[in-house]
Structure 1
Amino acid sequence: MVKVSVVIPVYNVEDFLGECLDSICNQTLEDIEIICVNDGSKDKSLEILNEYASRDKRMTVIDQENGGHAVATNRGMKLATGKYIFFMDSDDILELTALEDTYKVAEERDVDFVIFQAINYYMDTGKLVEAENYSMNELADDVGDSVFNWKDIKKHVFNITVTPWSKLYNREFVMKNSIIYPEGLVFDDNVFFFETLFAADRITFLRKHLFKRRWYSSSSTTSGAKHFANYIKICDLIWQTFFKYGVFDEFKDELLIKKFKTNFHWYMNIRPFYKQMFLDDLREDYQRIASDDEFRKYIEKDMTSLQKLLFDGVLKYENRHDFDVLFKKFRLLEKQEKLKEKYENAKQLNEELLNSSSWKATENLRSFMHKLR
């Protein structure tokens, strides 16, 4: 049995694929297998894959008609034979010691998966920029080198990046729990992550930036394409996962906030041509959940006035241009709320300063300095 299986779904990434494969083929951990699934690429990706495979016998290339990221990844996962499995994005870069570092930690601590850090690589500037969503420093501070599960890190559950390429999974753990990527949808890694999180008994964190996440203008997460609307369905699947593991009630408030916040994030960033479609899908989803008595209680009791403004707006406005007017109002009110909060915080700090002993102790000096002006 090889130590690590690397699964790489590939689709139209000829400009970046070579650098990705170099970072895998040259890993310091040599006992690996590399399973590349070409998902119907129309560029030279398959040619590049075959060229690398001819030089590295550890690499297997599968060519299939386009079925999407999840279909390609699930197929690669079925073919994997390693003790651990790593899911690589075909346009990103893995540090050369990453598999060796994470494998050692996984073995030493006997875990279901290892979480590690990543860093943003911006193509336009060539800069590496650390971001909290991929560094997860607050989680790292809390868990250190310990072994934990979701019950130990409840406050961090929604602050762990869902990306599969920041984890090394025990393959038997994944297979035993029948965890796969939901097919036919973008953002499928969200569901896979929460499945593994709640199924795992033993997780650990490695505080090393071992992955470079490439950002460029045509990236699928920045394109504003039609598939942004997939997140509506993904939210439903996430909810189903929380129900499956009996933890929905415990995280209900966070799930509702995440649903609203993320859906409107993608609505704001989707291309104008697709906004009407997105709004129609969102309304259908909200009509369904609004008919639930338990959810209606939440709306009446816990939903903020701004959240309710948008929720009611989705149900009320069928034309996306009318809804956009409301959405702009929401954004302005949201900014107003944040400014008000900053003002109140500044006011409180000022009062604390005026009442502090240091302020009173310097009263005579301040009076003297004022007279000199």
Structure 2
Amino acid sequence: MEKKISVVIPVYNVEKYLAECLDSVIGQSFRDIEIICVNDGSKDGSRDILAAYAKKDSRIVIFDKTNGGLSSARNTGLDAATGKYVLFLDSDDLLHASDALSVLYQKAEDNSLEQLFFDAEVIFENDDVKEKNSNYIDYYKRKNNYEDITAGRELFSMLQSNWDFKPNACMQFFLRSFLTDNELTFCENILHEDEVFTLECVALSKRAAYINMPCLIRRIRDNSIMTTAQKAGSIYGYYYGIRKLIDFAEQHLSIMEEPFAGFYLQRIGVMMELAGRLYYKENETEKKQVAAGIKDRSKFEFAADMLAWEKIVSLKERLQYYITEKKSQQEKLKAAQNKIQNLSEQLKKEKETTAKIRKELSDELNIEKRKLEHIKKSTSYKVGRAVTWAPRKMKRVFKDNKEINKRKVYLIGTPEFGNLGDHMISETELEMLRTIYPMNDIREITMNEYWNVKEHLKEIISENDLLVFHGGGNVGNLWPKSEYIRRDAFSVWYKQKKIVMPQSICFTDDEDGEKELEESRKAYKVPNLLLCCRDEASYRFAQKTFPCDSLYVPDTVMFHKPLLGNREKSIREGAILCLRNDKEKALTEQEKTDIINIVSRKYSKVEELDTVGEKMTRETRKEGLRRFFDRLCAAEIVVTDRLHGMIFCALEGIPCIAMDNSYQKVLGAYKWLETLDYIHYITNVKELSKWIDYSWKENYVYPYKKYREKFEPLLQKLQKQ
């Protein structure tokens, strides 16, 4: 009775791996199979293992033959097969999962396939083998997906155009009648037989497909055909394979059939180059010995072909050498130019910073001098000097440290890049600090300035000063530059009062994240440190992880009074999409396309606007924010997965549909805004259709006074500090 699947397994001296291979087959959930094991003259214990398994499972059929090579064994198994479908499996490999055959059978049956491609994963016998054959780590995983059911030639063209075609017979599932009707068999007595077999199959199959999953586990080991150097055998294999493919093409193909003919010839070209490279590395004596092994063709014809292929390889290697050498020289030149440019910019910044600090100190000194001169000219001062002459003489040895000890506030780590959210945070941090401290007592130090003026800051920052660190979403290892500044500052100003403004915390769940978390944990173990968190998850994490005080308050921007105020809906038009395209994005390209399609059905004008743009400084950020809000406030509705995209809409009363980023900080901010009836949070793109048709009111006003009350715990901490 015909089985549904025939699994053909050639066996030759694989006693170490055979049991694992057989177990992966007999353990399949799909039971209606025959397992044809062709013992190709094994000299180890492989035959005994086959016999033992055959006693336990009647589906195993053993064929014994004298050693004739892999192709001969596969052809023997194919002749004996009765299954509707055939799968070739090497005896040192194994099936990937227990449902592999079930998945392949169902896909082939549902689509009436003659040929079904699939992927494979790789295991290495040991680390040494892995190091020598590292090129195989991802070799059997295709880079793209191919969903169409097509003729073999069309599918091959798509695969080869991306170099995703893998000439491996064990990574294909065949309709047996397709192979037998077309008399497709393996070339015997040569290596690289799969190059020929797989190309002939794709040229003749009328219905072929690819399933994007690994169904096979390839074992890379020492002393296999793949890893053993067989120069002469490989050269013969490529040579005879090329001749057979050319003969096959003359019978079955047209040179005018594009793109298939071009890609078919490309594969032949690859084989020519591989053969030429092997031949190129031989000395003259070895080349003559290789030519002497040719049997069925003129030795001179072989030598002429190999000489031509060798020349191609030689020219390619010389060209590659020149390209590599030129690239190396260009990189060295570019590196030198970059170094000069960086040093020039660094020198310029240091000069600007030094001049700025000198001016600030000079301005402060001049102010104090003018105060002193004014006091000295007054009558009360002159009378007081006379009356207090004796007490002053007694106290002359003491210094009045009142002005010296006057507190300064340093806002450290503000941005100089193009993220408008961070620049808005900076503006609001300064606004908040000015409600408590006089403006001339606040010093802003940007990220870039910090490292340039650090040594100077060591001299002027006293124990009485307060250090405030820029907030945002940068505690963690996603945006490490800010974290490095904090760690360094905590160690330098160990005793000073330190406040980290509201933050989201994210350390990735990998080796790098664990390493950086441990470094931060050590750095945050300092006195007088308060870490503010803007979402519940970060707050809980801080309380559990960091050895410092923590506080739960909203994102700093919610303290800000609206920049432009509420605008009438009558002057608003269309929708704005404000979506991420960086390492924090969670949306796929397809989901972004779906969002555009959904929004476009309701709004004829759909504009894309990002909160990240051109680089800004503290001098230009107000103008940059104004330009952004002018565009934002012209929209009827905003769809965003950016935290500050949502908060900006809240400030200006703009209806907003918000989605999360890759580590849920948008949801954390939304918890503070969920009472606003014009800000809605959705968990997936499917929910967008409902809210895009929602009937929004004409006017919404941000209750900023109410939100300022939520910052009272932080304001009290700033005042007490």
TM superposition score normalised by structure 1: 0.75
| Aligned pair partner of 1:137 in 113, 133, 143 | 143
Do 1:232 and 1:285's aligned partners in 2 also have CA atoms closer than 8 Å? no
Partners of 1:105 and 1:347 in 2: CA distance = 55
Matches within 5 A, 1:134-283: 134-138=140-144, 140=145, 143-144=146-147, 146-157=149-160, 159-225=164-230, 226-229=232-235, 230-248=237-255, 250-251=261-262, 254-255=266-267, 257-267=269-279, 276-278=288-290
Secondary structure of the structure 1 residue equivalent to 2:123:
strand
Corresponding position of 1:124: 126
Letter in 2 for 1:112: E
Partners of 1:81 and 1:264 in 2: CA distance = 41
Corresponding position of 1:336: 322
Q: Pick which of 199-208 and 184-193 moved more.
A: 184-193
Corresponding position of 2:15: 14
C-alpha distance after superposition, 1:326-352 (max 9, x if no partner): x6x97465233245368779999xxxx
Q: Pick which of 203-212 and 252-261 moved more.
A: 252-261
Do 1:191 and 1:241's aligned partners in 2 also have CA atoms closer than 8 Å? no
Letter in 1 for 2:106: K
1:98–1:266 CA distance, 2 compared to 1 (3 A): farther
Matches within 5 A, 1:293-304: none
Partners of 2:281 and 2:123 in 1: CA distance = 21
Secondary structure of the structure 2 residue equivalent to 1:134:
coil
Do 1:14 and 1:44's aligned partners in 2 also have CA atoms closer than 8 Å? yes
Partners of 1:247 and 1:346 in 2: CA distance = 49
1:62 lines up with 2:68 in the alignment: no
Q: Pick which of 172-181 and 279-288 moved more.
A: 279-288
Corresponding position of 1:298: none
| Aligned pair partner of 1:369 in 329, 336, 349 | 349
RMSD: 3.8
Q: Pick which of 156-165 and 245-254 moved more.
A: 245-254
Do 1:68 and 1:184's aligned partners in 2 also have CA atoms closer than 8 Å? yes
Matches within 5 A, 1:61-80: 61-80=62-81
Runs of at least 5 residues in structure 2 that lack an aligned partner in the other structure: 335-344, 353-451, 453-721
Aligned residues: 330
Corresponding position of 2:629: none
Question: How far apart are 1:232 and its partner, in Å?
Answer: 1.6
Q: Pick which of 229-238 and 242-251 moved more.
A: 242-251
Partners of 2:321 and 2:27 in 1: CA distance = 48
Runs of at least 5 residues in structure 1 that lack an aligned partner in the other structure: 291-306, 314-326, 349-364
Question: How far apart are 1:68 and its partner, in Å?
Answer: 1.5
Partners of 1:288 and 1:6 in 2: CA distance = 42
Corresponding position of 2:39: 38
Do 2:273 and 2:312's aligned partners in 1 also have CA atoms closer than 8 Å? no
Partners of 1:346 and 1:107 in 2: CA distance = 58
Partners of 2:19 and 2:287 in 1: CA distance = 36
Question: How far apart are 1:284 and its partner, in Å?
Answer: 4.0
Do 2:276 and 2:310's aligned partners in 1 also have CA atoms closer than 8 Å? no
Question: How far apart are 1:46 and its partner, in Å?
Answer: 0.9
Partners of 2:52 and 2:253 in 1: CA distance = 48
**Poorly superposed stretches of 4+, deviation over 6 Å:** 126-130, 268-273, 279-283, 342-348
C-alpha distance after superposition, 1:112-133 (max 9, x if no partner): 1110001221111397987453
The structure where helix makes up a greater share of residues is 1
C-alpha distance after superposition, 1:192-236 (max 9, x if no partner): 111110101111111111211111121112211242232221122
Letter in 2 for 1:245: H
TM superposition score normalised by structure 2: 0.41
1:90–1:368 CA distance, 2 compared to 1 (3 A): same
Partners of 1:23 and 1:89 in 2: CA distance = 12
Secondary structure of the structure 2 residue equivalent to 1:137:
coil
Structure with higher Rg: it is: 2
